[in-house]
Amino acid sequence: MQDAITTSSNDPCVACRRRALTLFGARRGYRYYRCGGCGTLQLVPMPDPEALRRDYAEGYARADHWQQGPGLRNAAVRGQSQALVDALTRNGIRSNLLEVGSGWGALLDLMREHGIDCEGVEPSCEMRAHCVTQGHTVHAGTLETLDAPLRYDAVVFSSVFEHLVEHERCLEASRALLAPNGFLISLQPTALFPTFAATVIRFGMRRLPLPQLHHVLCPPWHTVIFSIDGMSALLGRHGFRLHAVHIAPQQRDAGLTGIAQRVLERVNRVGWRVAGVRWPLAVGHVFEFQKVDDTTPTQEGSEI
């Protein structure tokens, strides 16, 4: 194991494409590597896309990845869903939306409450069936397989981007489905928190297994935990400009976990005033990217 700890990977970083990956740690037989350039964490090797697609379609709803069933899950992420609704509202978007990876329909439910017209696409057969029974339009499959006759004003990812394997295909499909100047909005865990927390918990010893950190480091489902800089680099290469980034609210569970989440949120309110979106205890962020014309150079927004 000592040799593996000191070995760098020759794979390029999914985000910034630098070949600067070093082993960050192992969990459940999978290894996360950290990019020395942008700080993104990624699995090496990445899971097989076809095998993972089958797992999502057939067993993800019962994979013990998060809360079992729609009731608990949707209640826990209501605050995060509201943050996405707020992002859409800030940009004047209230119709012609597509949610990628609708899950049990938490965001679709909340959008309907706010009078926002949105449809979804979901690979899990069980989760999609539940959404359909709730009256939502949810397509089967993935963004890349979606045969949509129209263009959308926004494509929304709610805790989905960390699950992707074929990022190039996903972003190409997103651009093709978006109307001119449309938005790609994503709420997701980011690399600051697991990098800081896992280092502290393991006292800097990479030989120790990585902690789960409340399902942030959760292979094989979570393939890449992007940094803020990594997300900007990746989407910039695919014709998106970073319009804004905000710290995301935490999900709210029941019991002792929920109490700990509320305590951390109070601590974070102080930290955010000092360090802004780069405060290391912020578990995730909301990214607002805008599609740009192919002739317009992409650049980072001013709200980082």
Mean pLDDT lowest for which of 121-135, 144-158, 226-240? 144-158
Find the DSSP H helices in the chain.
2-6, 49-59, 70-76, 78-90, 106-113, 125-133, 167-177, 192-201, 228-237, 255-275
* Backbone dihedral angles phi then psi of residue 18, each to the nearest 5 degrees: -70, 150
Read off the pLDDT band of 269 (50, 70, 90). confident
For the segment 41-78, what is each residue's pLDDT rounded down to a tens digit?
999 999 999 999 999 988 888 776 655 678 888 999 99
The secondary structure of 144-169 as a DSSP string is GG---SS-EEEEEEES-GGG-S-HHH
> What pTM was computed for the model?
0.92
Q: What CATH number does the domain containing 163 carry?
A: 3.40.50.150
Q: Are residues 142 and 271 in the same domain?
A: yes
Residue 57 lies in a domain: no
Q: What is the mean pLDDT of residues 169-181?
A: 96
Q: Which residue has the higher pLDDT, 265 or 84?
A: 84
CB atoms under 10 Å from CB of 151, counted, come to 13
Residue 125 lies in a domain: yes
Count: domains in the chain: 2
Residue 37 lies in a domain: yes
Is the model's pLDDT at 1 over the cut of 70?
no
Residues contacting residue 300 through CB under 8 Å, at least 6 positions apart: 232, 236, 241, 242
Residue 52 lies in a domain: no
Q: Are 220 and 43 in contact (CB under 8 A)?
A: yes
Is the model's pLDDT at 302 over the cut of 50?
no
Cα–Cα distance, 206 to 209 (Å, whole number): 7
Q: What is the mean pLDDT of residues 162-189?
A: 96
Average pLDDT of the residues of the chain: 91
Domain that holds residue 200: 1-45+191-225
Q: Are residues 156 and 238 in the same domain?
A: yes
Q: Are 15 and 234 in contact (CB under 8 A)?
A: yes
Residues contacting residue 225 through CB under 8 Å, at least 6 positions apart: 32, 40, 41, 42, 162, 189, 190, 191, 194, 216, 217
